[in-house]
Amino acid sequence: MIVCVCRRISDREIARHARAGLGFDEIQFELGVATQCGQCEGCARDVVAQCSATCPTAHIKRADHPTEGSPWNPLSPSLQASPAA
């Protein structure tokens, strides 16, 4: 179904971008949805919200940070690049 008549953008196209991990603002910038008359914004946001609820993104692991007050060491072995094989 066409969501944005001004830019001829379908719900499938919006959903595809949302499944790729983009939020509404990023999709709006990428596709131009809801940038002309604005009548489609509510529907476009609904499509993004529905896709976000049914298509969870990958789990993000929190980075290990040194304790507060300890100096950052860029030469730490954990930050060194692995030698090429």
Domain extents in the chain: 2-54
Using only the alpha carbons of the chain, give its radius of gyration.
20
Q: Which residues contact 22 (CB under 8 A, 6 or more apart)?
A: 30
Region 5-27: mean pLDDT is: 94
Region 64-77: mean pLDDT is: 63
pLDDT above 80 for 59: no
Of residues 68 and 35, the one with the higher pLDDT is 35
Q: What share of the chain has pLDDT > 90, as a percent?
A: 55
CATH number assigned to the domain with residue range 2-54, chosen from the 4 options 3.30.300.10, 1.10.10.1100, 3.40.605.10, 3.40.50.2300: 1.10.10.1100
CA distance 50 to 13: 14
